[in-house]
Amino acid sequence: MKLEKFENLFNPQSVALIGATDRAGSVGFGIVKNLLFGKSQRKIFFVNPNSKKVLKQKTFVSILNIKQKIDLAVIAVPSKSVKSVVLECVQAEVGSCVIISSGFAELSKEGGALQKEIANLLREKNIPLVGPNCLGVINPSVKLNASFAPETPKSGGIAFLSQSGALIDSVIDKSFLDDFGFSLIVSYGNEAGLSLNDFLRVAGKDEKTKVIAVYLEEIKNGQEFIEVSLEIIKRKPIVILKGGKTQIGKKAVQSHTASLAGDEKIYSAAFKKAGIIEVETIEDLFLTAQAFLVYGNLCGNPAGVGIVNHRGNPAGVNSSGWAILTNGGAVGVITADWCSRFSVGMADIPQMAFEEIEKSKKVSSSFTRNNPLDIIGDASSEGYSVALMALLKQEKIKGVIFCQTLQTMTNTEENAKIIIEAQKNFPEKPILPLFLGGKITQKGRDFLKKNNRVSFNEPRDAVLVASALNEHLNLQARF
């Protein structure tokens, strides 16, 4: 499909909402409010044959009564009325169409037949269709919110493509708390028209998109999916969460989006072949996506030698890999365990690094000469700085997991500043801040956030990100 068709969808100059209402708590009212958020960017028309006005704005009996070309038609009427509305949209020669309405293939065979008929009507006229049974589409950078999401998220670098609309709502809410934004959000529902592969292409070519996060339950065209993904990962990472892996999950999927979830191993193999990072939780999906926004442009390769991904063989100590720096032995041990589970190679720290640390006299002589490097509980910020710089100088150390436990002498904000400065000096080597603690530790986390850095509360999370960076950068090295 030509790119100008997607311009009609993601940056329309005119939008018509069929099913507009000011009835509180309704889907139509949610879309009305969201569309009006972008009224300075485009013309907005409301269609409702049973009401003369919606929020004091004139309504139209039909889209055919609007004397202007409509780039995007959003349909939010009962499923039994959708076909007649679509016929009017075809007659009006709309540029694109989003069908919010449910009650199609996800509900019954009859609904599936109606869905197919509607999709064919639009396909014959080359009108892009999103849905049905979806939340809608959002493009924050141009103030487009053609959905019934509870709020419009801030603009950012993550494109989120989801088969589930409800999941998008919760993710948007969480994005305000964690302070990340989106380049595009698409709820593609039953995929009667445009598919996940189409939206991957759009996000892959979109300059604002730096990383693509996906929730899916089924892939309709596996070979095309692999080909599209392999082309995209040359420029930006794709992170996926797959729903419907268990037998119970597969049954739930069929009534959710009319999809048939396939075998877990087949999907995981397809993701690996396509160069995609697969994660297990919603939290992991966006933790990894945020980390790629920070570290995705590294010119080095933190993967180490022979480390491919976290589903490979257990990793031991390698001639090239990651270093763990800690002021608490237990945290270092736990982090090392997670490195083994995720196959993140740990570097053999050169003796010259230990000599430099000892010579500085800023670190207790009791520090461990190993990886993890434990500079023990009385470590000052100055001691952390010396040890971190000594590690980063080593050619065979490709990244550092910076573990901080809270001791009486720990200055969390100062340690955060040390990480920021060190990263400026070694931009090609990721430093992953693992700051354990609560109220006092939050000062350090807040400083990192203000400086667009991701911090971690659990050893597993930091190592998960190290693994994702390994996997993506190794895949890029293939091209």
Summarised one tens digit per residue, pLDDT across range 172-217 is 999 999 999 999 999 999 999 999 999 999 999 999 999 999 999 9
Instruction: Return the higher-pLDDT residue of 262 and 309.
Output: 262
**Does residue 312 have a pLDDT over 70?**
no
What is the three-class DSSP state of 186? strand
Do 143 and 287 fall within a single domain?
yes
Residues 69 and 181 in one domain: yes
Which of 266, 291, 316 lies at the terminal end of a domain, its last residue? 291
Query: At residue 35, does pLDDT exceed 80?
Result: yes
Distances (CA, A) of 330 to 321, 327, 371: 21, 9, 13
In angstroms, the CA 313 to CA 118 distance is: 49
Supply 259's token pair. 């999809």
Mean pLDDT of 78-97: 98
Whether residues 325 and 378 fall in one domain: yes
Confidence grade of residue 472 (pLDDT, cut at 50, 70, 90): confident
8 A C-beta contact, residue 199 and residue 160: no
Please give the average per-residue pLDDT across 354-383, as a whole number. Answer: 95
Q: How confident is the model at residue 127 (pLDDT cuts 50, 70, 90)?
A: very high
pLDDT at 252 (0 to 100): 47
Spell out the alpha helix ranges (H) of 101-246: 109-124, 165-178, 196-205, 222-232
Query: Does the pLDDT of residue 104 top 50, yes or no?
Result: yes
pLDDT of 253-305, one tens digit each?
444 444 444 577 888 888 988 989 999 999 999 999 999 999 876 644 433 33
Rounded CA-CA distance 189/130 in Å is: 8
Do 161 and 199 contact (CB within 8 A), yes or no? yes
Q: Are residues 321 and 229 in the same domain?
A: no
Are the CB atoms for 214 and 162 separated by under 8 Å? yes
Q: Greater confidence, 317 or 417?
A: 417
**Confidence band of 248 (pLDDT split at 50, 70, 90):** very low
| Torsion over CA: 56, 9, 223, 167 (sign) | negative
Do 339 and 420 have their domain in common? yes
pLDDT, residue 115, reads 97
User: Per-residue pLDDT averaged across 63-88, rounded?
Assistant: 97
Average pLDDT of span 365-386: 95
Residues 262 and 246: their CA atoms lie apart, in Å, by 10
When pLDDT is averaged across residues 412-434 and rounded to a whole number, the result is 96
pLDDT at 245: 66
Instruction: Assess whether pLDDT exceeds 60 at residue 159.
Output: yes
Q: What pLDDT score does 473 carry? A: 80
Domain count, the chain: 2
Res. 132: pLDDT tops 90: yes
Alpha-carbon distance values, 79 to 107, 113, 133 (Å) = 11, 12, 10
Task: Report pLDDT for 474.
Answer: 79
pLDDT score for 238: 96
Q: Report the sign of the C-alpha dihedral through residues 370, 374, 376, 380, in that order.
A: positive
- pLDDT tier, 413 (very low <50, low <70, confident <90, very high otherwise): very high
Please give the average per-residue pLDDT across 319-342, as a whole number. Answer: 94
Distance, CA of 44 to CA of 55 (rounded, Å): 12
Coil vs helix vs strand at 373:
strand
The pLDDT value given to residue 2 = 61
> DSSP labels for 230-299?
HHHTTTS-EEEEE---SHHHHHHHHHHHS-----HHHHHHHHHHTTPEEESSHHHHHHHHHHHHHHTT-S
| pLDDT above 90 as % of the chain | 82
Residue ranges of alpha helices (H) inside 97-160 are 109-124
Average confidence score pLDDT of the chain: 90
What's the longest Cα–Cα distance across the chain?
Answer: 82
Here the CATH number for the domain that contains residue 214 is 3.40.50.261
The model's confidence at residue 309, banded by pLDDT at 50, 70 and 90, is very low
Residues 325 and 446 grouped into a single domain: yes
Residue 320 has pLDDT above 70, yes or no: yes
Whether the pLDDT of residue 479 is over 90: the answer is no
52/68 same-domain check: yes
- pTM tops 0.85: yes
- Give the residue from 291, 323, 352 where a domain finishes: 291
Domain span at 383: 299-476
Let me know whether 263 and 329 are in one domain.
Answer: no
State the angle between helix axes of 109-124 and 79-92 in degrees (0 to 180), rounded to the nearest 10: 10
Q: Is the pLDDT of residue 411 over 80?
A: yes
Kindly tell me the burial class for residue 5, based on how many C-beta atoms sit within 10 Å of its own C-beta (0-12, 13-18, 19 or more): middle
Least confident range of 222-226, 256-260, 300-304, 429-433: 300-304
Grade residue 220 by pLDDT with cuts at 50, 70 and 90: confident
Which of 258, 291, 324 lies at the terminal end of a domain, its last residue?
291
| Same domain, yes or no: 241 and 343 | no
Residues 49 and 92 both lie in one domain: yes
For residue 476, is pLDDT > 90? no
Q: 361: alpha, beta or left, given left = phi > 0 and alpha = psi -120 to 50? A: left
Are 324 and 262 part of one and the same domain? Answer: no
How much is the pLDDT for 154? 97
Residue 447 has phi, psi (to 5 degrees) of -65, -40
| Cβ pair 447, 319 in contact under 8 A | no
- Whether residues 267 and 199 share a domain: the answer is yes
DSSP type of residue 17:
E
CA neighbor of 1 nearest in space, from 177, 138, 148, 122: 122
